[in-house]
Structure formats: C-alpha cells, structure tokens
Chain A
Amino acid sequence: MSYDWLAGPRGVAAIRPSGPRLRTRPAPAGTRLAWLYLVSRRVPAAAAVIAGCAAGLRIALIAHWDTYGALQLPLVFETLAAAAVTACSASPFGEPERVAVRRLPWLRLATALALTAVAAGALATAGAGAQLSGGTLDVLRNVLGIVGLGLLCAAGVGASLAWAGPTTYLIVGVYALYTQWHGPALTTPWVWPARPPHDVGAALCAGLVFVTGTVVVTVRGARDRSGDRD
C-alpha cells in the first residue's frame, strides 16, 4: 500500500531525531502523516470534548429532571458533540495544504465519518441503562443531522464560526420540544429533535442534511479564514 497521496516529504524519517537511545522502530510515514493530519485538525481534542459530553450526559441522567429537562438534556450534549466534530473541519494551513496534498478529500471524509460515529456511539453508550429520552435511535438521528448542519456551515461561513449553526439549531430544537406541550406544536420533520425516534420523515431529513454536509465538506473542504490557526 502506498501512502504517496499524503505527499509528505519522502525523507521525513531522516529528519527525525535519532540516537543510540532511540531504539523503537519508527512508524510508517503514512501513519505518522495521518496522525499529523488528525492533530492539525485537533481531532484528539475533539475526542476529549466528545468523551466529556458522554460523561456529562451520564452524570446528568443520574439527576432528577422534569419532563422539559429530560427531553431537552440529551439534545444539549448531542449538539456539543456535533459542534466538536464540526470544529475539526478547520484547516490551519489553508491553500498550501490544498495544493500539496492530492487526496485530501478522503482524509476529510474519513475524519468526519469517524468522529460522527464516535460521537453517536459515545452518547448512546452514556445513555445505556439510563432513562435517555428517545433512546439510541434518537441520539443517532440528532447527532447525524446536527453534524451535517455544522459541516454545511463550515463550508459556507468557515469552520471557525460553524458552531453557530448547531447551537442555533439547538435553540430551535428545544423550542420545538417545548411546543409539544405549549402549542401550536412545530411538527415539521426538518426540526427532527422534536419528532419521535421512529419518525421516518425526520430521519430522512437528518440523513439528507448529514449526507449533504459531508459531501460538501469532503469535496470543497471548510471555507478558510485567513489568520485563524489554532
């Protein structure tokens, strides 16, 4: 298997500090470069945020909530996890990376899919055995949809402010849940958090948004904003 699509310098191994004390065998260049890619996107930090979300959800589920809180609580953590996934679409390199790396879209796609899977899995695991409103299906649908929304925002306004999309949608979703008691209820499937877990229309809408967002970010990448390099 060739890793030349990563277009890293051929002699990367040669510039590594080496000496008699360093006896471990260096990892393949492709693995190292993939790791560097993940680090440049702050994927480890995003994973930590997602883990924090799962832990927070688990702790929150121990407490007693009334109906409003019980319904709205998972959505808050799902949105934060989705925003963390979205934040990883920002590139600190901008144009030079687009020029230098030939198969960058595949890395973007793999990162988005893997982080989304991690987010959905972590939150579903956190809710296992507890009274998680909507259950695993709800978590999966909401995370997918909100990640898609965030990725669309990243492609549109830049990854730096892409969190605004999911967080705004969070308020809409919470309001829609509130209107289940205080009508007129928002029943459009585009506000999927307020729909039951088995609602096909809501699942389709969330899935469509996720697919669209993933495809757009895979093909075009997040919109670069010059100067932001965290």
Chain B
Amino acid sequence: MIAPPGLRAWQPSGSAGRWFVPAAARLMRLELRHNAMPCLLPLAIALFGVLTYRKTLAMPPLWYVRVDDTQSGLVLDFATSVAGAAAWMGSREARRRVTDLLETVARPRFTRLLASWAATSCWAVAGCVLCLAAVYWATSLRASWGGPLWWPAAVVVASMPAFAALGFGAGVLVPSRFTAPVVTIATFFVVALSTELIVGSQSYWQVSPVVSAAWDVGADPGVATFYPYLPDLSIAQLMFLAGLTVAVVAAATGLPRVSGSRRLRVAAAVASTAGLLTAGTAVDLAGTGTLNAHGMIVIPALHDAADDRPLQFTPVCSRTAIPVCLNPAYAVYLPAAASALGPVLSEIAGLPGAPVRVIQSGTTYQQGPANEVLISLAGPVVSGRPPVYRLLLPDQLGGLQLSPGQLTGVLRAGTDPSVIASVVGDGPGASAAQRAVAAALLLAAREPYRALAAGTVSGVLAPGTPVRQSVPSRGRRVAGAGQGLIPAPVFAAALRFTALPASARHAWLVRNLAALRAGRITLARLP
C-alpha cells in the first residue's frame, strides 16, 4: 500500500519507534499552520512599531510611564487584527462548505473549533509578547530605578484570547465574508471610543483593557514612583477578560447541538455562565474604583493596604551648594535640575533659615468635577528643621513630558523665585524690601528678569495650593521684561543690592535676614 509522501510523519505510532504525538497536539499544529493570524501579525507589529513603540521610547525612561502607554497602544494595535482573524477562522467551516463533511470525523466540533481559536490566540499572544519584550528591554536599558511592572503586561496578553474569542464567536455565529470586517471595526469602535463614556474615576468602562490607569491622569510620571503601583484595576481587567473569554468560547464552541455529547454541552453551559458571572463581577468592581491621592485607581474589594506605604529609595543628589536630591527614577533630570537651581542655591546657601536640601517630593491627586484632576504638591513647600525645600518637577504635573533642556528653563522660571521667596519671606503682603531682596538675589544669580516679572517671585506657596495654578506651565507665555510687576523704587533698590560684592551681600543677609523676614526693614535701609 502506497501512502502519500509525508503521511507517515502524521501517524501516531509507537511500534515504528517514533515518539508519540498526541492527536490534540497534531490538530493544534495543523491549526497553527493554517491560521489567518500569521498573515495579519506583521501588520499588527508594524502598526505597533510605527504608532506605539516610537512614541513610548520618546517618553522618559520611567517604568510606569512607558508601560502604561504600551498597554493602551498595544491593545489597540492588536485588537482589530486579532478579532478580525478570529472571525475569519470561526467562519471557515461554513465558508468552505465543509460543515456537514466534518460532522463525520472522529473529533467533535467542540474540539475542532477550540483548536482553531487557541491557535489564533497563540499567534496573537506570541506577537504581543514580542512587542512587550521590545518595550521592556528598551526601558530596562535606560531606566535608572525601579523594575518592570508586570500587571499591565498581563492585561495585554490576556486581552488577546478575549478579542480572539469575540471575533471567533461572531464568525461561528454569522459565517459571512462581511463578518470579519464588521467585527474588526466594531471592536475598534468599542475599544477606542468607549473611553468617551468614562467620566471621573468611578466608571464601569474602566474595565476595558485599553484603560491602563486612572483615565484622567494617564501616563503621568508622578504616579508609581513615590508609592507602589496599584494592581487593583489590572486585577479587575484580568477577571473581566478571563470571564469574557471563557463565556464566549464555551458558548460558541460547546453550546450548539452539534458540538458534542450532552455532558459536553452541559459543561459548556456551566462554563459560559461562570464566565459571564466573573465578567459581570469584574465590571461591577471596576465601577467601585476611585482615584486615590497617589494617582491610581483603588478598588476597595481588591485593594491591599500594604500598597499604600511609600516606596523606600535613596535619592540621587547634586554637588551644588545646597544639594538637589531627586527620586532615583528621575536621575536623568538631575544635571538639568542642578544647572537650573545651582546659581540661586549658591546665593542663599548658609543663610539662616535657608533650606539645607532641595528634595523632590511626590504629588497628590484629587478628582475634580467631570474629568478634571487636580495635581498638587503633597504637603508644604518648606518643611522640617533644618528646613528642606520640597521640589516638584514640572513633569509630575501631567501633560507632555519635558526634555532636560526644557526642564531647565521651566525650573529657572518657576522654582528659582520660589526658592528665594521661601528664604526672604517674599509672598503676598511682603514688604517692599523683601521684594527688592528677592529680586536682587535672582538678578545676582543671573536669572532672566522675565522670571522675576512672571510673578512667581511674589509668593511662597501655601500648603495645599494647587501647583498647576502656581508653576508656569509650558504653554503659558512668560511676561517680558517690560511688563514687570515690581515698582520702580523696588527695582532700583534691587539693582543697588545686586551691585554689592557677593560676600558683602551675603554678610548683610546673615545679619538682617531675620528682621527682613519679619518685615522690619524698609527699602531705604537696604545697602
């Protein structure tokens, strides 16, 4: 008897000395080889490379920022391809008019369809893991602190079988050439545009895998650097995806009468119901989430109180007259921060009441009306004894991330006046002499006068003052020199004080700073 070439390799045989390959593995191998997903995988990976990977790598090398962005992007890049390919595979038997023929084979319909869905999911997960590996590898090379966050990666990976299940179910139910494109677009519509329905932090739609964090906060560098990453939302999303996958796959493959034995159909019905219940519970849990003070979603039923403790880290400090210390995750910004603050810190170093250290502080987040989130410095600007100035980098305030060069400019314009004001007591209701000395110290530090004129010299921030309203944002025009807020006599006194030798200026401040702060020195008494 002559068999076609290669047939022997497929036969399970123990007598011929070959190792036994289980039938399920052979079926899976066949499905992997004849799947539509490998055709679409390059497209999805290219999409990821062009849209998500490029953008992610342009972000600061902070694990949370990059992983958060990757979750949203990767899910969107892959969802349509996976759902479409699965819909195409699900409709294969009907499309090829082999449904009746396949009823006669030994394997039940349930097994055949399950293998087809599993193969599609395997390809999708493989592509997805490849993309995740690229991002994690690139981030690990540049991140100065912290470790990879695995929960978002788990959500991305779990969403692939879920999208495959949805597409596959649609393909099995409505086998048509239009099913795949309709499912693809519907998936995109639901995944991408459903986020429009998220209002505030308590929204059921946060269960969508495209939502990687508090939707109104996004990939904020201030999150998960001073406090641990909270996996609450990720856990709810994983529950939802797992439940959805089981429910749809069991319903599509096991429930129809032709799927297999009665016992199998009952098991499929039970699994489908359990999956639906799990998914529903997850949606309900996601709806109970609230934005906590650290910028993450807390779901009370899933929350571990141990995650509320601040992270322990050794800050990285500059060698300026007063050390500038940053969270090690922000080490890349240290040279820029030292360059921006160094001259001013040299002016005030050694003065009574001057900060002994400038240390980066965490932010606090507060949900406002609708989709507004208020981000501010957690606690007072100056605290402790000896005093420590608590710095907030502009990147921590949300929005676009700054390059080190941009950061220098923003710190000079916003933080330098604030540091000086904290020493001389400048602020709302400050005396003319205090304003003149503050201006003089800024001028002495060779800061552009526009920073002074921007108005930030006029106040130490009161505790709890929203920093967004106080630090010049990158989109705000900084006032020019001609638009100064300082009266001419005050400015003249400032110029006079600046003209003093640095040692004389410093000595005068050492003697008179307490009186100056108390408002007992008039403009005329300034040297």
Interface residues of A in 139-162 (CB under 8 A from B): 157, 159-161
Interface residues of B in 148-192 (CB under 8 A from A): 175-178, 180-182, 184-185, 188-189, 192
Q: A93: CB under 8 A from chain B? A: no
Q: A46: CB under 8 A from chain B? A: yes
Q: Choose among A65, A163, A172, A230 the residue that contacts B84 (Cβ–Cβ < 8 A).
A: A163
Report the minimal beta-carbon distance from A61 to chain B, rounded to whole angstroms: 13
| A84 and B178 form a contact (CB under 8 A) | yes
Q: Which residues of B contact A168 (CB under 8 A)?
A: 43, 47, 80-81
Q: Which residues of A contact B81 (CB under 8 A)?
A: 164, 167-168
Q: Which residues of B contact A227 (CB under 8 A)?
A: 95-96
Q: A170: CB under 8 A from chain B? A: yes
Q: Choose among B39, B47, B97, B181 the residue that contacts A84 (Cβ–Cβ < 8 A).
A: B181
Q: Choose among B51, B176, B193 the residue that contacts A230 (Cβ–Cβ < 8 A).
A: B176
| Contact A171/B177 with A80-B182, A161-B36, A161-B88 known, Cβ cut-off 8 Å | no
Question: In the complex, A84 Cα to B185 Cα: how many Å?
Answer: 11
Q: A79: CB under 8 A from chain B? A: yes
Stretch at the interface among A66-74, A97-105, A198-206: A66-74
Q: Choose among A45, A65, A87 the residue that contacts B196 (Cβ–Cβ < 8 A).
A: A65
Q: B76: CB under 8 A from chain A? A: yes
Question: In the complex, A166 Cα to B176 Cα: how many Å?
Answer: 18
Q: A42: CB under 8 A from chain B? A: yes
Flag A116-127 by CB within 8 Å of B: 1 or 0 each: 000000000000
| B178 and A161 form a contact (CB under 8 A) | no
Q: A4: CB under 8 A from chain B? A: no
Question: In the complex, A65 Cα to B193 Cα: how many Å?
Answer: 10
Which residue on B lies nearest to A158, using beta carbons?
A: B39
Interface residues of B, CB < 8 Å — how many?
A: 33
Which residue on B lies nearest to A56, using beta carbons?
A: B189
Q: Choose among A69, A84, A171 the residue that contacts B77 (Cβ–Cβ < 8 A).
A: A171
Q: A54: CB under 8 A from chain B? A: no
| A83 and B51 form a contact (CB under 8 A) | no
Name, among A90, A166, A228, the residue most crowded by chain B CB atoms within 10 Å (CB to CB). Answer: A228
Q: Choose among A69, A73, A163, A229 the residue that contacts B96 (Cβ–Cβ < 8 A).
A: A229
Q: Which residues of B contact A172 (CB under 8 A)?
A: 47, 50-51
| B178 and A164 form a contact (CB under 8 A) | no
| B189 and A76 form a contact (CB under 8 A) | yes
Question: In the complex, A90 Cα to B43 Cα: how many Å?
Answer: 21
Q: A175: CB under 8 A from chain B? A: yes
| A160 and B181 form a contact (CB under 8 A) | no
| Contact A66/B185 with A168-B43, A171-B76 known, Cβ cut-off 8 Å | no
| A161 and B77 form a contact (CB under 8 A) | no
| Contact A87/B178 with A72-B192, A80-B185, A168-B80 known, Cβ cut-off 8 Å | yes
Report the minimal beta-carbon distance from B526 to chain A, rounded to whole angstroms: 47
| B181 and A83 form a contact (CB under 8 A) | yes
| B51 and A80 form a contact (CB under 8 A) | no
| B196 and A157 form a contact (CB under 8 A) | no
Secondary structure type dominating chain A contacts: helix
Q: Choose among B36, B80, B180, B182 the residue that contacts A171 (Cβ–Cβ < 8 A).
A: B80
Q: Choose among A72, A79, A90 the residue that contacts B185 (Cβ–Cβ < 8 A).
A: A79
Q: B91: CB under 8 A from chain A? A: yes
| B178 and A46 form a contact (CB under 8 A) | yes
Q: Which residues of B contact A84 (CB under 8 A)?
A: 178, 181
Q: Which residues of B contact A182 (CB under 8 A)?
A: 400
| B196 and A163 form a contact (CB under 8 A) | no
| Contact A73/B84 with A49-B178, A90-B177 known, Cβ cut-off 8 Å | no
| Contact A166/B196 with A171-B77, A230-B91, A230-B94 known, Cβ cut-off 8 Å | no
Q: Which residues of B contact A69 (CB under 8 A)?
A: 193, 196
Q: B514: CB under 8 A from chain A? A: no
Question: In the complex, A174 Cα to B72 Cα: how many Å?
Answer: 14
| B39 and A157 form a contact (CB under 8 A) | yes
Question: In the complex, A83 Cα to B182 Cα: how many Å?
Answer: 8
Question: In the complex, A228 Cα to B91 Cα: how many Å?
Answer: 10
Q: Which residues of A contact B495 (CB under 8 A)?
A: none
Q: Choose among A65, A66, A90, A171 the residue that contacts B188 (Cβ–Cβ < 8 A).
A: A171
| A175 and B196 form a contact (CB under 8 A) | no
Q: Which residues of B contact A65 (CB under 8 A)?
A: 196
Q: B40: CB under 8 A from chain A? A: yes
Which residue on A lies nearest to B193, using beta carbons?
A: A69
| A230 and B95 form a contact (CB under 8 A) | yes
Q: Which residues of A contact B185 (CB under 8 A)?
A: 76, 79-80, 83, 167, 170
Report the minimal beta-carbon distance from B88 to chain A, rounded to whole angstroms: 7
Report the minimal beta-carbon distance from A119 to chain B, rounded to whole angstroms: 13
Q: Which residues of B contact A174 (CB under 8 A)?
A: 188, 192
Report the minimal beta-carbon distance from A171 to chain B, rounded to whole angstroms: 6
| A163 and B180 form a contact (CB under 8 A) | yes
| B51 and A164 form a contact (CB under 8 A) | no
11 new A-B contacts, CB < 8 A, other than A76-B189, A170-B185, A229-B96, are A42-B176, A68-B196, A72-B192, A80-B182, A161-B36, A161-B88, A163-B181, A167-B185, A171-B80, A171-B188, A228-B95
Residue pairs across A and B with Cβ atoms less than 8 A apart, 20 shown, are A42-B176, A69-B193, A73-B193, A76-B188, A76-B193, A79-B185, A80-B185, A83-B181, A157-B39, A170-B80, A170-B185, A171-B51, A172-B50, A174-B192, A227-B95, A228-B96, A229-B95, A229-B96, A230-B94, A230-B177
The 7 closest A-B pairs by CB, nearest first: A163-B181, A83-B181, A80-B185, A230-B95, A167-B184, A69-B196, A230-B177
